Amino acid sequence: MKDWKNEYQVKLCSAVEAANLVKSGDSIFTAGFSAMPLDFSEALAERKDSLEGVAYYGCLSPYPLKIMDGSFKGHVNYITIFTGPVERLKAPEGNIDQLSVHLGELDRFLVERVRPNVVAVNVSEPDKHGWMTFGPCGGMGIHTAKELAETVIVTVQPSQPKVPGDFNTIHVSEVDAIIETDVPIPNLPGSEPAELENQIASHVAPLVEDGSTIQVGIGGLPGAVALSLADKKDLGIHTEMLTDAMYHLVKTGAVTGSRKNRYPGKIVYGFAAGSNELLEYLDDNPRCIIRPVSETVDAHLCGQNDNFVSINTCLMTSITGQIASEAINYTQISGTGGQLDLVRAARNSRGGKSFIVLASTRTLKSGERLSNISLGLPPGSPVTTPRTDVEYVATEYGVVNLRYKSNLERARALISIAHPDFRDELRAGLTQATHYSLDDL
């Protein structure tokens, strides 16, 4: 390893040269978000006509890559394991193959489905010994993929934080090609919560006790709940995704981690996305521990923390609590992620609680307003979290606990937090579809 600087120079190449290492039929894994290599991916697009049947696996892409265009279908096929806004926008063109994968099974998924022979990811600059890190998104299966791959291509990105970990590093000697780039690491800064989001958060915050270990999902609503916990004491963080909202709790002093059972005093996460301030905080910070997402969402490991609180959002729920978090009808909007595992983790935890938060209504482009609490999920809508696993559900009209409730009790509870304009409609529809009477409801 003493001569790593010479080896680095030997392996240093252009994005075009690295893309030339890809062959027809290859399976490429690029992980997601800040790990995804822009220069390599765009150079790969220039090889379109010389490639057939290449599978390109990514997720939550921060870039509208050329290979996502419909014209690339059959040449370079883009496959996402968690649909983000960019993938959702490009999906109608026909070259976005959308999968829903429990992140707790990501390593197994890589072995059994992806079987990558090429890994192409962003890394931080080498340290004085030649070690590079996969950065704040390194927990997204890269460690497993690199063990399976025949070819490892890295893009050295100066703005990529150094995030050490026993699985999150790679040495110059272990890679086949090195690209250098000045593309900055993408940001995903949080936004100020809207009034409705704060209303929903106000129902959840009183139920989160001091000393709880929290997991907060992606999106503005879970973020608003996190921000509402700033006055709590001794919170811990063990989360799938680390965001600005949780970092705010660190800055306010609400997070100490002193009561955690696993990694006490440490902030544990699988991947992180947020502002530059968050990324700078993660840089070489021994207080923060990145672990594989297969661990950070593991229902048994997370549940070893007492008072583990899971906070996630959804698109809609049926009147009995079937939770649709990833798609409505046949339109994929996000992914399964770790929601179900984390809901179950809260149930495994002594004193744990899980919350699903959602707005009571949504408005279509046509202007029509629909209730997000419905008699049943629309045809084609997958159930992300079964009703038998659901505990607390909150809207701007309150919070209810569905655990161990009968169908009738569930219906009463969810109608009570539905938008008032839809409550009578829900009652009438349920009486027509069942043996229940209006008096029951």
201 close to 192: Cβ distance less than 8 angstroms: no
Phi-psi category of residue 245: left, alpha or beta, with phi > 0 → left and psi -120 to 50 → alpha? alpha
Last residue of a domain, one of 180, 208, 238: 180
Assess whether 153 and 14 both reside in one domain: yes
Mean pLDDT of the region 121-132: 97
d(CA 247, CA 349): 23
Instruction: Taking each helix axis as running N to C, give the angle between helix 220-227 and helix 195-204, from 0 to 180 degrees, rounded to the nearest 10.
Output: 60
Phi-psi category of residue 322: left, alpha or beta, with phi > 0 → left and psi -120 to 50 → alpha? beta
Q: How confident is the model at residue 192 (pLDDT cuts 50, 70, 90)?
A: confident
Confidence (pLDDT) at 334: 93
Confidence (pLDDT) at 340: 97
323 close to 358: Cβ distance less than 8 angstroms: no
Mean pLDDT of the region 368-375: 97
DSSP state at residue 358: -
146, part of any domain: yes
- Shortest CA distance to 354 belongs to which of 415, 420, 403? 403
Assess whether 47 and 102 both reside in one domain: yes
Mean confidence (pLDDT) of the chain:
96
Assess whether 53 and 12 both reside in one domain: yes
Assess whether 200 and 267 both reside in one domain: yes
Q: Find the helix or strand (DSSP H, E) in which 156 lies.
A: strand 151-156
pLDDT over 60 (residue 160)? yes
The CATH number given to whatever domain includes residue 119 is 3.40.1080.10
d(CA 119, CA 28): 6
159, part of any domain: yes
Phi, psi values for residue 86, rounded to 5°: -70, -45
Q: Render pLDDT for 305-357 as a digit per residue (tens, 0 to 9).
A: 999 999 999 999 999 999 999 999 999 999 999 999 999 999 999 999 999 99
What pairing do the DSSP bridges indicate for beta strands 327-328 and 267-272? Answer: unpaired
The CATH number given to whatever domain includes residue 358 is 3.40.1080.20
Q: Render pLDDT for 14-64 as a digit per residue (tens, 0 to 9).
A: 999 999 999 999 999 999 999 999 999 999 999 999 999 999 999 999 999
141, part of any domain: yes
Last residue of a domain, one of 152, 180, 208: 180
Task: Enumerate residues 6+ apart whose C-beta is below 8 A from 388.
Answer: none
Task: Enumerate residues 6+ apart whose C-beta is below 8 A from 291.
Answer: 139, 165, 167, 268, 269, 270
Q: Find the helix or strand (DSSP H, E) in which 309 lies.
A: strand 308-313
Q: How confident is the model at residue 436 (pLDDT cuts 50, 70, 90)?
A: confident
Mean pLDDT of the region 129-138: 96
Q: What is the DSSP string of 59-118?
A: ES-SS--GGGSGGGTTTEEEEESS--HHHHHHGGGS-EEE---BGGGHHHHIIIII--SE
15, part of any domain: yes
Assess whether 240 and 368 both reside in one domain: yes
Assess whether 80 and 203 both reside in one domain: no
Q: How confident is the model at residue 219 (pLDDT cuts 50, 70, 90)?
A: confident
Assess whether 153 and 231 both reside in one domain: no
Q: What percent of the chain clears pLDDT 70, i.e. is strictly above it?
A: 100
Assess whether 200 and 111 both reside in one domain: no
185, part of any domain: no
Assess whether 227 and 360 both reside in one domain: yes
390, part of any domain: yes
* Other residues' Cβ atoms within 10 Å of the Cβ of residue 86: 18
Q: How far lies 85's CA from each of 33, 36, 80, 237, 376, in Å?
A: 12, 15, 12, 26, 26
d(CA 12, CA 294): 32
Q: Render pLDDT for 263-305 as a digit per residue (tens, 0 to 9).
A: 999 999 999 999 999 999 999 999 999 999 999 999 999 999 9
Mean pLDDT of the region 101-127: 96
322 close to 384: Cβ distance less than 8 angstroms: no
Structure tokens at 174: 């272990």
Q: Which residues are catalytic?
A: 240
Q: What is the DSSP string of 372-425?
A: SEESSPPTTPPPSB-TTT--EEEETTEEEE-TT--HHHHHHHHHHTS-HHHHHH
- Domain residues for the domain of 211 are 195-433
pLDDT over 80 (residue 68)? yes
Confidence (pLDDT) at 2: 64
95 close to 73: Cβ distance less than 8 angstroms: yes
Q: How far lies 430's CA from each of 131, 146, 321, 385, 419, in Å?
A: 61, 52, 14, 22, 16
441, part of any domain: no
108 close to 145: Cβ distance less than 8 angstroms: no
Domains contained in the chain, number: 2
Structure tokens at 376: 């049943």
Instruction: Name the least confident of 66-80, 169-183, 187-201.
Output: 187-201
Confidence (pLDDT) at 1: 55
